[in-house]
């Protein structure tokens, strides 16, 4: 099980008049018109920011959005400013960059309790490389470092890890603390049977964690884009569905391991297929082994929903990461919505339900069931890595308590 490093506390820091560099995860989904389709991560960042404002700090917010390669206007953080300002009750200033003279001037002009949002830190390739010179430049803007970006804590990047080396104190924000307390706490001694539901599209990231989940869970449900790699490994025809060819052997060995460990590995038995990746695609339900050429699987089918629901009824703790299908298109949202409803129902009966991952959370929000779950995590990959027993670099870099 993941051991939690005891991180330095924000409440003990001297904050009055101090410039505080706060790494937040404002990587929220935006539609084609740059409207925020789910603001969970922005709302989750508010308590720490308000605390700092209330204690007279000059708050410098830093985040990434998406995975831009260099400066890419569509990944600007500017569209987030109105919602952030509304939630904080102040006018948040937007910087056009995240380092440099202009930013320094804006920070210098910031009043105590003021808030500035730096532009997408991933516009610099040095961010993901964790370049020390770049981290130093970020650090030079501030006196104190607060990491509240739980969703990005599994990345050793300049703004999540490197910067902590140059600022003292470097402490966890309230969201980070809450996530660590809950996720580590709840799964250290889970009520059994313990189930994980893993879906989504980040196949290569998630297929790896399935292995470590096999050592902890009694049941493992798979959905979303990764199931086709498992189908193909079994010799099924998968049409043009998402497949990671280089993970076929791994999929086979995971199925064997599940069997050897006595874990029930449940793959959908039927899928909803589409003739193109679009909201208005033609669709039909077929058995999992019979996806025709030219068609792609975009959701789990009704028989799978039924059998997943029945098996979930037998569990006491459930961790869910990644949607069951392309829920952004109504035609392919049924599987994800059914799982969300099932978990909400089970929460009401005392089952512990933990949801992780930007898109899974968005899906739960979309059906209005977020407040029914035991815990909604703001990190998908980060919560999975914690479950894998890994230490998160963004947490390790912080001062010891």
Ligand X SMILES: Nc1ncnc2c1ncn2[C@@H]1O[C@H](COP(=O)(O)OP(=O)(O)O)[C@@H](O)[C@H]1O
Ligand Y SMILES: O=C(OP(=O)(O)O)[C@H](O)COP(=O)(O)O
Which residues are designated catalytic?
A: 41, 202, 358, 381
The burial class, CB within 10 Å (0-12 / 13-18 / 19+), for 23 is: buried
Q: Is 321 in the site for ligand X (CB under 6 A)?
A: yes
Could you say which of 29, 68, 114, 151 contacts ligand Y (CB under 6 A)?
151
DSSP string, 114-145: -EEE---GGGSHHHHHT-HHHHHHHHTT-SEE
Q: Is 64 exposed, middle or buried (0-12, 13-18, 19+ CB in 10 A)?
A: buried
* Binding flag, residue 357, ligand X (CB under 6 A): yes
Binding mask 306-345 for ligand Y (x = CB under 6 A): ----------------------------------------
Opening angle at CA 45, ends 42 and 47, nearest 5: 130
Binding at 326: pick from ligand X, ligand Y, none (beta carbon under 5-8 Å per type): ligand X
Nearest approach, Cβ of 125 to ligand X (angstroms)?
22
The answer to the question of residue 224 lying near ligand X (CB under 6 A) is: yes
Interaction partner, residue 201 (ligand X, ligand Y, none; CB < 5-8 Å by kind): ligand X
Q: CA-to-CA distance for 45 and 350, rounded, in angstroms?
A: 28
Distances (CA, A) of 47 to 54, 181, 270: 10, 16, 43
Tell the burial category of 203 from Cβ atoms under 10 Å away from its Cβ (0-12, 13-18, 19+): buried
Largest CA-CA distance found in the chain, in angstroms, rounded: 65
Interface residue with ligand Y among 379, 387, 388, 398 (CB under 6 A) is 379
Residue 152 binds which entry of ligand X, ligand Y, none, CB below 5-8 Å type-dependent: ligand Y
Please choose, out of 1-9, 70-78, 149-157, 294-302, the segment that lies near ligand Y by the rule CB under 6 A.
Answer: 149-157
* Whether the Cβ atoms of residue 83 and residue 43 lie closer than 8 Å to each other: no
**Distance between CA 161 and CA 163 in Å, rounded?**
6
Pairing outcome for strands 296-300 and 270-274: antiparallel
Which listed option, ligand X, ligand Y, none, makes contact with residue 155 (CB within 5 to 8 Å by class)?
A: ligand Y
Size of the site for ligand X (CB under 6 A): 19
Which residue in the set 326, 333, 340, 398 belongs to the binding site for ligand X (CB under 6 A)?
326
For ligand X, the binding residues (CB under 6 A) are 200-202, 224-225, 242, 297-298, 321-323, 325-326, 328, 357-360, 380
Query: Which residues make up the interface to ligand Y (CB under 6 A)?
Result: 25, 27, 67, 151-152, 155, 357-358, 379-381
């Amino acid at each position: 099980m993941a051991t939690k490093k005891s991180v330095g506390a924000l409440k003990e820091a001297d904050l009055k008049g101090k410039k505080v560099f706060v790494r937040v995860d404002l990587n929220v989904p935006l539609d084609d018109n740059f409207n925020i389709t789910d603001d969970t991560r922005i709302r989750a960042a508010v308590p720490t920011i308000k605390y700092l404002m209330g204690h007279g700090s000059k708050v410098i917010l830093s985040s990434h959005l998406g995975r831009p390669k260099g400066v890419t206007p569509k990944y600007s953080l500017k569209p987030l400013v109105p919602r952030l300002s509304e939630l904080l009750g102040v006018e948040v200033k937007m910087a056009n960059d995240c380092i440099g003279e202009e930013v320094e001037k804006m920070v210098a002009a910031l009043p105590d309790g003021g808030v500035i949002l730096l532009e997408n830190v991933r516009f610099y390739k040095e961010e993901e490389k964790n370049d020390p010179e770049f981290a130093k430049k970020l650090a030079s803007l501030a006196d104190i470092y607060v990491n509240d970006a739980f969703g990005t804590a599994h990345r050793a990047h300049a703004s999540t890890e490197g910067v902590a080396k140059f600022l003292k104190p470097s402490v966890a924000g309230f969201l980070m603390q809450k996530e660590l307390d809950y996720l580590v706490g709840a799964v250290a001694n889970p009520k059994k049977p313990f189930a994980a539901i893993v879906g989504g599209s980040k196949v290569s990231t998630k297929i790896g964690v399935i292995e470590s989940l096999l050592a902890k869970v009694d049941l493992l449900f798979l959905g979303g884009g990764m199931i086709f790699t498992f189908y193909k490994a079994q010799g099924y025809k998968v049409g043009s569905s998402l497949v990671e060819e280089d993970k076929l052997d791994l999929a086979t060995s995971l199925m064997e391991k599940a069997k050897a460990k006595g874990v029930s590995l449940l793959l959908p038995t039927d899928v909803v297929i589409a003739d193109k990746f679009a909201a208005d695609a033609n669709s039909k339900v077929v058995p999992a082994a019979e996806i025709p050429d030219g068609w792609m699987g975009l959701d789990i089918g009704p028989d799978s929903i039924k059998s997943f629901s029945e098996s979930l009824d037998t569990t006491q703790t459930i961790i869910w990461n990644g949607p069951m299908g392309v829920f952004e298109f109504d035609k392919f949202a049924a599987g994800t919505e059914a799982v969300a409803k099932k978990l909400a129902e089970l929460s009401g009966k005392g089952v512990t339900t933990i949801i992780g991952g930007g898109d899974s959370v968005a899906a739960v929000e979309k059906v209005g069931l977020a407040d029914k779950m035991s815990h909604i995590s703001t990190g998908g990959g980060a919560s999975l890595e914690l479950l894998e027993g890994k230490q998160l670099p963004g947490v390790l870099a912080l001062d010891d308590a």
